[in-house]
Amino acid sequence: MLSKNTTVVHGGTDALGVPAHDFSTNRNACGPCPAAVQALQAAHSAQYPDPHYTDVCTQLAAFHGVAPERIVIGGSSSELIHRLTQHAVRHGVTAITLPQHHYGDYLQAAQVWGLQAHPRGSAQGEAAAPARLHWACEPSSPLGVPETMWGDWPHSAAPRGGAPAWHVLDCAYRPLWLEGTAPQRDSDALWQLWTPNKALGMTGVRAAYAIAPVHASAQALQALRWLAPSWVVGAHGVAMLQAWVTPQVQQWLAHSLQQLRDWKAQQLALCARLGWQVVPGHQANYFVARLPVGDMAACLAAWRAQGIKLRDCASFGLPGHVRLGVLPPASQAALEQAWRSMP
């Protein structure tokens, strides 16, 4: 069983404020998307949004080509991770399986509900009960690589022998796939989590949605919705989700990906000059590298004092490594100067 995770570590803003050069998050550094910002500015902040989110569910469903009843609005992907875990527990799930390296909220939610957690592919994870909640993320976090479970997960996740099996694909970084075209996946049998704020470069706005598998019953979906508080997403989150599906915003995203590809190539060249060993296979706007330093914590703390923040990967099970989101050349130059000025 996986060890207990007592603290969930995140990148981004901290007690020192917003870093001037924040490599520690995976948001689109070309953002915030101007059209999405305009949508937020026009949001009806004086009124409650529709508590059933009728229009935004219809728009998201049309965007993905699914039935509107399969859309579940959430306060964020993290909120949906916790809510889906609670929902699965109520339906008999007793354990989860996880990728070797993964986002900490999967495990935190499992621990809250007393679930056993096992690495994917382990004897404990694959044996026994089909009553399990299985997590995946593609591109993965922190490595940004394709997932490996496609041959093992069922194409139809309908319960076998009456025992529930839950398969969830976190699509947080799929819109930020940079290396060629994102592979087509048959996801109808899976739960999908979508978090547009990362691709739009506006992670300060919290809103997300799940797409339920085709076999999910109306009763199960209603039960999942009832687990959320009323108006789980406010007017600005609704405005972001509605902007997300517009042609103007999608065109901006497509153009931003080319800019990110150029910046990523420069950032990888920088790492090569500095002697940092980049973990291969990365597909998105971030990657992981091993730094040739003896005291990682001291190094990162010194850089943070200079306004430069990288994500320590020790909490991902990768000590000695950092995750770097792709940033513009000015931030890359600041990172290089900080490295070369080290004693």
Query: Residue 94: helix, strand or coil by DSSP?
Result: coil
pLDDT per position as a tens digit, 33-62: 999 999 999 999 999 999 999 999 999 999
Query: Residue 7: helix, strand or coil by DSSP?
Result: coil
Question: Rounded CA gap, 93 and 71, in Å?
Answer: 22
Tell me the one-letter amino acid at 106: Y
| Residue whose C-alpha is closest to residue 290's, from 265, 266, 317, 313 | 313
| Residue whose C-alpha is closest to residue 3's, from 135, 104, 129 | 104
Identify whether the C-beta of residue 193 lies closer than 8 Å to the C-beta of residue 168. Answer: yes
Q: Residue 213, preceding bond cis, omega within 30 degrees?
A: no
Strands of the sheet containing 311-312, edge to edge, are 277-278, 286-290, 321-325, 311-312
Continuous H helices in the chain: 34-41, 54-64, 77-90, 104-112, 123-126, 196-199, 218-226, 235-244, 247-274, 296-305, 329-340
Residues in the chain, pLDDT under 70: 1-7, 122-131, 154-164
Q: What are phi and psi for residue 119, nearest 5 degrees?
A: -65, 140
Q: Residue 131's pLDDT is what?
A: 63
DSSP string, 155-207: S--PPBTTB--EEEEE-TTGGG--SSPPPP---TTSEEEE-HHHHTT-TTS--
Apex 86 CA angle, 82 and 92, nearest 5: 145
Q: Residue 153's pLDDT is what?
A: 80
Q: Residue 154's pLDDT is what?
A: 64
Q: Residue 179's pLDDT is what?
A: 96
What is the chain's alpha carbon radius of gyration, rounded to the nearest angstrom?
Answer: 20
pLDDT per position as a tens digit, 127-152: 545 568 999 999 999 999 999 888 88
How would you label 304-342 residue by residue, b for 16+ Cβ within 10 Å and e otherwise?
eeebbbbbbbebbebeebbbbbbbbeebbebbeebbeee
The residues, any chain, with a CB within 8 Å of residue 152's CB and separated by 6 or more, are none
Q: Residue 162's pLDDT is what?
A: 45
Query: Residue 212: helix, strand or coil by DSSP?
Result: coil
- Dmax over CA atoms of the chain, in Å, equals 63
Question: Rounded CA gap, 189 and 192, in Å?
Answer: 9
Question: Rounded CA gap, 307 and 212, in Å?
Answer: 41
Give CA separation, 161 vs 123, 129, 130, 132, 165, in Å.
21, 11, 9, 14, 10
- DSSP lists the bridge partners of residue 287 as 324
β-strands 132-137, 166-170: how paired?
parallel
What counts of helices (H) and strands (E) characterise the chain? Answer: 11, 13
Q: Residue 122's pLDDT is what?
A: 66
